[in-house]
Structure 1
Amino acid sequence: MSGIVNVKCVREDGKEFLLGTDSAWRILSDGLEGIDYPKISVYSEKSAVKDGALLTGMRIDDRSIQIKAKTVLTKLNAVLRREAISFFRPKMKYRIVITYQGETRWIDGVIEGFSCPSQNIHMPMKLTVKFYCEDTHLKSVDNFGQNIASITPRFAFPYIQTNKIKIVAESFNFSKTVTINNDGDAEVMPVIRINFKGSCSNPVIKKNDAYVRVLGNFVSGDLLIIDCESYRITKNGENWIHHIDRTSSFTDIRLDVGDSNISFGADTGDSNMAVYVYFNKRYLGM
């Protein structure tokens, strides 16, 4: 490994532990495993009428990430060892944030194994931690929020006009549609945040012929969140899933690799909707 290599482990209670170039625990040259291409399971059955087999299915498997590191300040061995043993606890969830070759991505996991053996106190202390991750992909740090109803800028100020031709300084997205590009390695499920600036009834989010429609009346200051990944809808922080139109489909609002056209509307008051689409890109590895 070359360059800056850091792994920040963020425990579910908010506490952090850093391993790598910027830490007292340096990752070994062969000490970062499981961040490359995931394993793939292929299923088949023998053909009864011809040579070979028939492909019946395939899937991307879950993964394990293992980090091996050693101390660079042996006089702090005792302190560093106590901190490490105290931090890495079973039955707690962790977010593993990996910076490698200029890219930073993350994945959630739990402790699958941990080791920090006692040894000569004058020698570098070694640590091994292994996380089990049920997800198949690493995710981008940025969530790429985009306002569908945003104002589209036309030019920057100061601007000097040298003729009498009419120009447009800015324009609203009256089509209420935005093309979102997902240049990751897999489709993603977005989180849609709608801020209401006035009265509105029965707002809807669309992708092609699919949609998620929420039945109800909204007023200025209301906040509606549609989480397509966890199949949750909240209004001002309260569960609102029972207000969903039964013909709605969360899964069909996914953002495919490439371009997806997302739009919004409402029975009344769609001009009072400020709609933001958030998503984390998903990658097969680093």
Structure 2
Amino acid sequence: MDTDVIVRFVRDDGAELVIDETDWGATEIDGAAAAEYEVFSEDNAVGDGDTITGQRVKARELEISATVMDLAQNQALRHTALAYFNPKRNYKVHLTYMGRTRWISGVLTALKAESAYIYEPQSFTVMLLCPIPYWQSEDDFGQDIAAVTPRWGFPFMDHPTVGVLVSTYNFGRDVVFDYDGDVPGYFRAKLSADSTVVNPRLIKDGFYVRILDAMQQGDVIEIDFERATVTKNGQNILAKIDRTSNFTAMRMEPGVNTVSYAAETGENALHVVLYYNKQYLGV
């Protein structure tokens, strides 16, 4: 069993504070397992029981406590921790527990660092509110749907008629994704063109998002389906989305997902890279 328990805080300015039993050691982690759920109901006007009217996963409250590992570092580490946790900043928490590492974003709601006896190990407790309650995979699994797959390897094979198989191209433009997250996760797409591409679109499960625009060589379109943003070379082009497009369908569902792309003209010159983080209910 992997016994490492590591917490790595990353502040929105890039500064980090690590709890890994070098300077600080974790003493308590609360709120990292299953999220809290809410179920809404109304009394039945006739008959027994209630009618369920809704349910949701609440924002996650995360509480992490740590203590100094070396008494000689009491003063320096306490001052560092007090300065690091700032209510004006946002934080990502990367947690390694029993062989898994996942991250979540949060805002600071409280910091406790009692003025204890100075010859005892100094400690702190930080509390964060995570508005999106799901833990994210460390990898964003970027994959080019139109990728050329290298095939030249060992043992070397040379067919006298066909020749040497060096690579294969995904002419079907379909990529199968095996998503083992606990809940669906929206993906992001980056489209780039080697030459003219007219009205590119992404397709998933019969739904699509189409961009009514022409791309030229070097153009890059980026789509964030969770935030519903579309940019071309950094400029907002959300108004150029076909009104029949379906943003909410563009997400990874637990299990097998197939995503493809097309264009009215020039689809052979189009590259589509999908990025997504798997989402989990706990660590």
Which residue of structure 2 lines up, in the alignment, with residue 220 of structure 1? 217
Q: Which residue is 1:65 aligned to?
A: 62
* Residues 75, 122 of structure 1: 8 Å contact kept: no
Structure 1: 4+ residue segments shifted above 6 A? none
Q: After the TM superposition, which residues 273-284 of structure 1 pair with which residues of structure 2 at under 5 Å, given as runs?
A: 273-284=270-281
What letter matches 1:27 in structure 2? Answer: A
Deviates more, 1:31-40 or 1:150-159: 150-159
Amino acid across the alignment from 1:176: R
Distance 1:127 1:204 in 2: 50
CA distance in 2, matches of 1:160, 1:212: 42
After the TM superposition, which residues 163-182 of structure 1 pair with which residues of structure 2 at under 5 Å, given as runs? 164=160, 166=162, 168-182=165-179
Query: Relative to 1, partners in 2 of residues 1:266 and 1:2: Cα closer, same or farther, differing over 3 Å?
Result: closer
For residues 238-267 of structure 1, the C-alpha deviation after alignment (integer angstroms, 9 at most, x for no partner) is 222122112212111111111121111111
Contact 2:101 2:137 in 1 (8 A): yes
> Per-residue CA shift, 1:59-116, capped at 9, x if unaligned?
1111111111111111211111111110000121111111111111001001111011
Alignment-derived partner of residue 100 in structure 1: 97
Displacement of 1:158: 4.5
Alignment partners' CA distance in 2, 1:247 and 1:2: 49
* Selected match of 2:143 from 131, 141, 146: 146
Is structure 2 residue 33 aligned with structure 1 residue 36? yes
Question: Within 2, Cα distance between the matches of 1:165 and 1:48?
Answer: 79
Quote the Cα distance in structure 2 between the aligned partners of 1:52 and 1:242: 48
User: Matches of 1:37 and 1:54 in 2, distance apart?
Assistant: 25
Is the partner of 1:82 in helix, strand or coil? helix
Q: Identity over aligned residues, as a percent? A: 36
Instruction: Tell me the equivalent position of 1:126.
Output: 123
- Decide whether the 8 Å contact of 1:74 with 1:121 is kept in 2: no
CA distance in 1, matches of 2:213, 2:88: 40
Q: Which residue of 2 aligns with 1:8?
A: 8
Cα distance between partner residues in 1 of 2:223 and 2:170: 21
Structure 1 Cα separation of the partners of residues 41 and 238 of structure 2: 40
3-state SS of the aligned residue for 1:175? Answer: coil
The question of whether the paired residues in 2 share the 8 Å contact of 1:7 and 1:96 is answered with yes
Task: Return 50-59 or 225-234, whichever deviates more.
Answer: 50-59
Deviations 1:145-192 (A, max 9, x none): 11111124556244145x757475432111111111211101111100
SS at match of 1:185: coil
CA deviations 1:198-257 (Å, max 9, x no partner) are 111111111132111112121111111111011111111222212211221211111111
How has the CA–CA distance of structure 1 residues 265 and 2 changed in structure 2, closer, same or farther, with 3 Å as cutoff?
closer
Gaps of 5+ in 1: none
Mapped to 1, the partners of 2:6 and 2:96 lie a distance apart of 5
Equivalent of residue 77 in structure 1, options 74, 77, 80: 74
Partners of 2:56 and 2:207 lie apart in 1 by 26
C-alpha distance in 1, partners of 2:233/2:107?
31
Superposed, 1:177-192 pairs within 5 Å as: 177-192=174-189
Unmatched tracts of structure 2, length 5 or more: none
Is the Cα–Cα contact under 8 Å of residues 207 and 249 in structure 2 kept in the other structure?
A: yes
Answer yes or no: is the 8 Å Cα contact 1:226–1:232 preserved in 2. yes
Question: In 2 relative to 1, CA 101–221 (structure 1 residues): closer, same or farther, beyond 3 Å?
Answer: same
Cα RMSD (Å): 1.8
Cα distance in 2 for partners of 1:278, 1:270 equals 20
Deviates more, 1:250-259 or 1:41-50: 41-50
